[in-house]
Amino acid sequence: MAFLTVGKENSADIQLYYEDRGSGKPVLLIHGWPLSGGSWERQSAMLLASGYRVITYDRRGFGRSSAPGDGYNYDTLASDTAKVIETLGLSDVALVGFSMGGGEVARYMGKYGGKGVSKVGFISSIAPALRKDGNNPDGVDPAVFEGLKRGIEADRYAFLGEFFHMFFNQKILGGTHISTEAIQACWNVAAASSATAMLQCIDAWLEDFRPDLTQISVPTLVIHGEADQIVPAPASGQRMPELIKHAQLHILKDAPHGCNWTHHVEVNKALLGFLRG
């Protein structure tokens, strides 16, 4: 097991758990909420078999990383990403974020000038901006996010059960793309995460990443499920080419938010083609 220290809270170090496997060009994968780096298993296996060095880490508050009382804003989370890149000495790295992880990708590129990054990927990402307001009429009503927070505060375990059904569109896809056992495994990971982290991260989702995205000049891949019930494609992925003109956009027919599992064949094909291109 490997850990790196990104800060300190009172008497305890804040440590991130990470895995660094394989050789070749590095790919750094940033997971979504409320999972861990292990949620990339179907992409990690493919990338390792294709000759890439694959790095994953657990966001603070999730997986095996430390769970401090704060630091769940994107400036801090992007700082954690920067620490991973710096500590591991990564260069010419492809930085890929899923869902909430897309926020770290965007903010790292904006705040740190994309240091060491040669390509970026956004899968089911919350970017460019989810909060609906006068400056962002195509976003999602903030009341939706307040409802999520109330559900977590009332009974986060029951909330997670319903959340993952929507995450994978189980009622629509049934057992054809994901098993009940796989959903249960996701629930187990999420239930073990920090309740504080779960709540505070929702506030971070309302961040506006449009200024960060306009600074991206490296090759960019955007993958989004057409039937995403968590982060609707029209409010997110489909808008990315407006801000990153050179972005490659792949909309996956009938795919849910958790397309990196349910539609991993299509996702992996697009990701590998992009990395090799």
Give me the active site residues, please.
Answer: 99, 228, 257
Q: Are 108 and 210 contacting, i.e. CB atoms less than 8 angstroms apart?
A: no
Per DSSP, what are the bridge partners of residue 29?
A: 56, 96
Q: Are 121 and 91 contacting, i.e. CB atoms less than 8 angstroms apart?
A: no
Residues 6+ apart with CB under 8 A from 257: 99, 124, 166, 167, 168, 169, 225, 228, 229, 230, 231
Residues 6+ apart with CB under 8 A from 132: 138, 139, 140, 141, 142
Residues 6+ apart with CB under 8 A from 7: 13, 14, 68, 71
**Residue length of the chain:** 277
Tokens 């899923």 appear where?
Answer: 98
How many whole angstroms separate alpha carbon 17 and alpha carbon 1? 7
Show the CA angle centred on residue 106, arms to residues 100 and 112, nearest 5°: 130
How many whole angstroms separate alpha carbon 256 and alpha carbon 263? 9
How many whole angstroms separate alpha carbon 33 and alpha carbon 205? 10
**Terminal alpha carbon distance of the chain:** 33
Measuring CA to CA, which residue among 255, 178, 245 is closest to residue 223?
A: 255
